[in-house]
Amino acid sequence: MGYPMAKNLRSKLPKSDELFVFDTNTQTTKKFAEEFRNNVVVTDGVREVAENATTIITMLPDPHHVQNVFRDMIRPPTLLKEAPNQRPRLFIDCSTIDPKSSAEVANATHSSSQGKFVDAPVSGGIVGAAAGSLTFMLGSAPELVDRAKEVLHLMGQRVVHLGPQTSGLKGKLANNYLLALNNIATAEAMNMGVRWGLDAKALASMINSATGRCWPSEVNNPVPGVIEGSPAGRDYEGGFLTSLMLKDLSLALVAAADADIVPRLGPHAKDIYAAVEGDEDLRGKDFSVVYKYVSGRAV
């Protein structure tokens, strides 16, 4: 997902601007540099990125990855070089992690005087990243919103400022919590209809014109053959992995517990996704593969 985001960023930036990139997957950065050639600098580490850039965008899998990367970028005793053009550095973290960890990283960044930090998790998946149609949920101090939006609009279509730092993550986790539940509910409803003898396409068409309509029914329907091009038609390959949905749901439940919130359906959904990911035949698939799990049969 980061590759198409960086591709859109480089394509829309002024040609005179240099883009410094780093990824532990060196084949990816090599391919990226070969594709663009001009004004792309592949670095040896995140510290080099931070030393040479005014705006730093990070996107990492888990909280500890974010913590380790920022520790490398802002570590003492050597201060980062003065930011280019005398503009304060802006760190934009697009990772989906828990708000508590993000707040700790933000505090460490600000207290080190190395720059400002905002959270901007993203929704839209690989398809949205390639099309430049992503939605960013922004958690930012008011004075940083315009600058963050200017950068994020180079990679996405919509930027929603939800409040101060950590607000973007809270919005993203609430959204994915709902998505996780809707996906299971859609799989169960479609399974009911198919078992009752209804045509899957006709059932989905009816649902999508009625009150049951939702993203998993309309865009990512879990029944093979209902939505052309969906993961269900590719043996659930590609798309948003079950492991990532399980991660986001787990983060949402932890954040809820930190705020003394007691979700009723989330724990049951988490058990279902954990069971799907624990099934050797279903592991590593798009999260709509939960349909195969709830139907109890091969499809």
Which of the residues are catalytic?
172
The alpha helices in 13-116, defined as continuous H runs, are 26-36, 46-52, 63-74, 99-111
Q: Cα(158)–Cα(152) distance, rounded to whole angstroms?
A: 8
**Which strand (E) or helix (H) includes residue 251?**
helix 242-258
Question: Quick one: tokens of 129?
Answer: 């990243």
H helix intervals, 53-157: 63-74, 99-111, 125-131, 145-152
Residue 189 CB partners (closer than 8 Å, separation 6+): 207, 212, 217
Burial 66-96 (b: 16+ CB within 10 A, else e): bbebbeebbeeeeebeebeeeeebbbbbbbb
Single-letter amino acid, residue 3: Y
